[in-house]
Amino acid sequence: MKKNKWLYQFKINREVDKKVTEKQKDDKGQEIEVTKTVTETVPIEFSLKKPNRKLYDNAELFYGVKMSEGIKAGLLTRNLLSKRYEDDGGAFSENEKQRYSEIYMEIYAKESEYQRLQTNLDNKPQELKERISQDILLEISELRRELIEIENSQANIFDQTAENRAKNQTIMWWVLELSHWKEYGRESETHFFEGENFDEKLETYDEFEESDDPFLNEAIKKLAFFVSFWYMGRATTQEEFQAVEELYDGQNETEEDVPEVEESEEVSNADEVAEKAEEEAPAKEETPKQTKAKKKPKVKKQQEAKKEEESTEESPSVSEAVAKEDAKVSGEASNPLKTNED
């Protein structure tokens, strides 16, 4: 296949056994050839196939079938579940509603206090001003965390819907269809997951997942990560995929010493991996048909936002200051845990 047939190509290192022949002299001084096996680390190239019209059609059909299966199995659709909660008074309990409102008011008050402090209307000494500012930012950060927890508890209610199950299954379908690799010693790319249909390819995936081979485990994890971003419209160009790969590498650096969750859970919730990577401002979900539309990935938007932030660094806003503090606090707490699915 030509290079323009690929969405993105990347490499993963793998240890392979190679036979090396050396010329040596025996005890009599005669030259002999000695062959021995050595282990070397070589880069293996992976490629994500660029989908054509036929693949998109098959994906939409697959999504519809899985949606119907979920409904027949008793799963509610998002609309039905939302209507049921509305009839019962909403997904929030009364206590949650009250606390949610209180948090918003507290954040507003703290931000106003911070802004007043930055303008120094009370003529406080610089050292005192900095100390109080730091305390306020920490308080705002904790309030926002509590707000996110309440919002996530509501979002989790809609995880088990027919649409969500169909979407997760469809992401897995795309992972199995798009993943190619150039195996060591081969000249051309082949399907990474072998099989004639979805079920057979899924069996290959399960074999890789259950193996103790770190190369195979890393491959399925990285492929699911990239396909998830692509499926949700956040990576369509080489630059966007490169930004996603930097994000992946950055996350792996901070999670090396973290206990692992089941890999099957991580790949089956692959869309959540993409969403959690952008937790502060998650983008809108898309159906399989919508994946044709291009969107900038959140990674790129964050880089652009950083440039704007640098140009206005002399008078940082409350949101910028809090974002920096959030990053600092989350960095301290990031050395134990992690996530899941397709």
Over residues 301-329, the pLDDT tens digits come to: 444 444 444 444 444 444 454 455 554 44
Confirm whether 281 is domain-assigned. Answer: yes
Residue 340 pLDDT grade (very low, low, confident, very high; cuts 50, 70, 90): very low
Confirm whether 271 is domain-assigned. Answer: yes
More confident residue, 220 or 114: 220
Over residues 2-52, the pLDDT tens digits come to: 557 899 999 999 988 878 787 877 777 788 887 888 888 899 999 999 999
More confident residue, 317 or 247: 247
Region of poorest pLDDT, from 44-48, 96-100, 125-129, 233-237 = 96-100
pLDDT of residue 297 exceeding 60: no
Whether the CB-CB separation of 267 and 334 falls below 8 Å is answered with no
Tell if the pTM clears 0.85, that is, is over it: no
Region of poorest pLDDT, from 179-193, 238-252, 254-268 = 254-268
pLDDT of residue 87 exceeding 90: no
Confirm whether 32 is domain-assigned. Answer: no
Region of poorest pLDDT, from 82-96, 263-277, 322-336 = 322-336
Confirm whether 201 is domain-assigned. Answer: yes
Whether the CB-CB separation of 143 and 39 falls below 8 Å is answered with no
The pLDDT value given to residue 271: 56
Residue 217 pLDDT grade (very low, low, confident, very high; cuts 50, 70, 90): very high
Average pLDDT over residues 265-273: 49
pLDDT of residue 114 exceeding 80: yes
Per the structure, the count of domains in the chain is 1
Rounded-to-integer distance, Cα 278 and Cα 37, Å? 45
pLDDT of residue 242 exceeding 80: yes
- Per-residue tokens: 92: 């929030």
Confirm whether 244 is domain-assigned. Answer: yes
- Which residues are CB-neighbours of 322 under 8 A, at least 6 positions away? 137, 140, 141, 144
More confident residue, 131 or 9: 9
Confirm whether 106 is domain-assigned. Answer: no
DSSP string, 134-181: HHHHHHHHHHHHHHHHHHHHHHHHTSSSHHHHHHHHHHHHHHHHHEEE
Confirm whether 316 is domain-assigned. Answer: yes
Rounded-to-integer distance, Cα 82 and Cα 240, Å? 34
Confirm whether 298 is domain-assigned. Answer: yes
Residue 222 pLDDT grade (very low, low, confident, very high; cuts 50, 70, 90): very high
Rounded-to-integer distance, Cα 193 and Cα 201, Å? 5
Q: Which residue segment(s) compose the domain that 21 sits in? A: 3-25+39-75+160-333
The pLDDT value given to residue 254: 61
Mean pLDDT of the chain: 75
Question: pLDDT > 70: what percent of the chain?
Answer: 67
pLDDT of residue 111 exceeding 50: yes
The pLDDT value given to residue 291: 40
Residue 55 pLDDT grade (very low, low, confident, very high; cuts 50, 70, 90): very high
